[in-house]
Amino acid sequence: NLQSGAILAFVPVSVSVAVGAQPAVVVLAAGLLAYVILIAMATALEAGLRARRRLKRVVATNVAEKAVLVCGILAVFVFGLGLIGIAVVYPVAGVTRVTLDYVLTFGRRRPADRTRSSVFSLVRRAAPFALNAAAFNFVPRLDVPIIALFSATSAAYFALGWQVFTTLVLIP
């Protein structure tokens, strides 16, 4: 996810620079794309948690990520950090979720410490969830970029609203 996402993120950021977009908008685009890459990584890690029926851990990581995101956005508004602040907050929230997912998935052991049979069993049980995660990577969300064509501020509000909505849907 990290490698393919970085390659795919390079194109829109490069195009934004080439067409002379405002620097704050370019940084915001890079931050949001980094966030999408991190969430794809987290979703892939969560496939293992879901396969082992560790749904409380999945909810905990999602809620932690949303809490970091909401607190960060509030701080951006309070301190007037603008688009650059938003561009920083989203990847920080994504890193929070990936880190928690990694720790909760593998614990103190590294992935290579697992036996071959336990890895095969986990992959087999995680397949439906992993396919869902893969679909998230191959079917990109275009709503925020389309809204950003009209207004970067509207896109930021939409993205924030989407985060709140997905948290509310996840909890039940």
- Residues 40-49: what's their mean pLDDT? 85
Task: Specify the pLDDT at position 40.
Answer: 86
Q: What is the pLDDT of residue 166?
A: 65
The residue-averaged pLDDT of 6-21 equals 84
Tens-place pLDDT, residues 112-135? 555 566 667 766 776 666 666 555
29 pLDDT tier (thresholds 50, 70, 90): confident
3-state secondary structure the chain: CHHHHHHHHHHHHHHHHHCCCCHHHHHHHHHHHHHHHHHHHHHHHHHHHHHCCCHHHHHHHHHHHHHHHHHHHHHHHHHCCHHHHHHHHHHHHHHHHHHHHHHHHHCCCCHHHCCHHHHHHHHHHHHHHHHHHHHHHHCCCCHHHHHHHHCHHHHHHHHHHHHHHHHHHHCC
Higher pLDDT, 69 or 16: 69
What's the pLDDT at 95? 95
Q: pLDDT class for 44, splitting at 50, 70, 90?
A: confident
The more confident residue out of 170 and 146 is 146
Give pLDDT tens digits for 45-99.
888 888 788 888 888 998 999 999 999 999 999 999 988 999 999 999 999 999 9
When pLDDT is cut at 50, 70 and 90, the band that residue 6 belongs to is confident
Residue 3, pLDDT above cutoff 90: no
What percent of the chain shows pLDDT beyond 70? 73
